[in-house]
Amino acid sequence: MARAQLKSLVMIVASGLALLATPALAEPKWALVIHGGAGVIERKDLTPETEAAYRAAMAKAAATGSAVLDKGGSAMDAIEAVIRDLEDDPLFNAGRGAVFTAEGRNELDAAVMDGKSLMAGSVAGVTRTRHPISLARAVMEKSRHVMMIGAGADAFAASVGLEQVDPSYFFTERRWQGLVKELANQGLPVPVRPAGAPPPQAFQPIPDDRKFGTVGVAALDSAGNVAAGTSTGGMTAKRWGRVGDAPIIGAGTYASNQSCAVSATGSGEYFIRLTVAREICALVQYKGMTLQRAADEVIQARLTALGGDGGVVALTPDGQMAWSFNTSGMYRARAAEGQPTVVSIYKDEQ
């Protein structure tokens, strides 16, 4: 054997041994990534108490989802459990604490998608169902349809036994005052305070109150399936039955075991036009991009170029987790089997 051949044989054997010696990075059995909305969120604008409250809410959401997945629960069960809690938390623009339309109503949008079956369910403009995320799941599991809107969607919710509330249940002073401010900016009249709302009270303002605060989850379960879910009140002072990206499958919410699961938050009109969630998964599926690269390509390059703002959380069936946003902050958390939970708000955090 020539000297050069011998040398390369030795090198091949050596590198093989080195590979064997390097412990493979184990794929986590389960994982989840959560957002609580993206926007202009800067340290100087959050009081220590408000910041602590958001971090605690995100940590609790991660713990709730982790507990479901760690017990072998499905990605869909984890998503529903996490989002139901966040819909009850007035810090977020989903369920109670949702933003108001220009007419002074709370009109809620939500969606879920299951990556194994490609089944999906979504609702828009719901006003009486306490947990729009559970309604989206019921549309997927208990109807022949994918999307329902308005009074019909609420009627379906009642027919399958989901809790109905008076629309004033969703009222919060902070979001009402956010509406009053936004309508003044736009030169629009302020509607009468909704029937059933409590008398005016003190409230703690938060940054970028005008629109953001949507909640969403992408999850991977120990059976290897991914799913995604998103719930929102939309954008403050939205008009004429406006629907955002959250309930549009492929725009704000998407999941497929062939590629990835994504939940988005931000200026919905742009996310719809770019079919953001599906686009990220398509880059993973057809271009073989890593999840982080695909998310950055769509958010940092394409969304930014179009003038949209916001972000996504995402994960793949092989346990890659990613987030990407082009705003100064996004309330977010991620957790996976055997890994420490990460909770972050600002851009300069991990």
Give the catalytic positions in this structure: 214
Beta-bridge partner residues of 264: 312
* Minimum CB distance to ligand ASP, residue 248 (Å): 10
Closest CB to ligand ASP among residues 264, 335: 264
Q: Which residues bind ligand ASP (CB under 6 A)?
A: 37, 93, 211-212, 214, 232, 234-235, 244-246, 252, 265-266, 268, 310
Output the CA angle 122-99-248, nearest 5 degrees. Answer: 25
* Minimum CB distance to ligand ASP, residue 69 (Å): 24
Class of residue 2 by CB neighbours under 10 A (exposed 0-12, middle 13-18, buried 19+): exposed
Closest CB to ligand ASP among residues 66, 127: 127
Produce one character per residue of 158-190: b if its CB has 16 or more CB atoms within 10 Å, e if not: eeeebeeeebeebbbbbbbebbbbbbeeeeeee
Closest CB to ligand ASP among residues 106, 214: 214
Assign 3-state DSSP to the chain and report helix, strand, coil percentages, each to 5: 40, 25, 40
* Minimum CB distance to ligand ASP, residue 13 (Å): 54
Contacts of residue 188, defined as CB under 8 A and 6 or more positions apart, other chains included, come to 102, 237
One-letter amino acid for residue 290 of the chain: T
Closest CB to ligand ASP among residues 115, 233: 233
DSSP 193-252: PPTTPPPP------TTTTT---EEEEEE-TTS-EEEEEEE--STTB-TT---STTSBTTT
Closest CB to ligand ASP among residues 103, 318: 103
Closest CB to ligand ASP among residues 99, 315: 99
* Minimum CB distance to ligand ASP, residue 36 (Å): 10
State the Cα torsion 68-225-280-350 to the nearest 10°.
Answer: 40
Element containing residue 122 per DSSP (H, E) = strand 120-126
* Minimum CB distance to ligand ASP, residue 7 (Å): 58
Q: Are 126 and 135 in contact (CB under 8 A)?
A: yes
Joined together, the tokens standing for residue 159 give 């027919």
* Minimum CB distance to ligand ASP, residue 168 (Å): 22
In 3D space, the residue among 169, 140, 128, 124 whose CA is nearest the CA of residue 80 turns out to be: 140
Q: What is the largest CA-CA distance in the chain?
A: 92
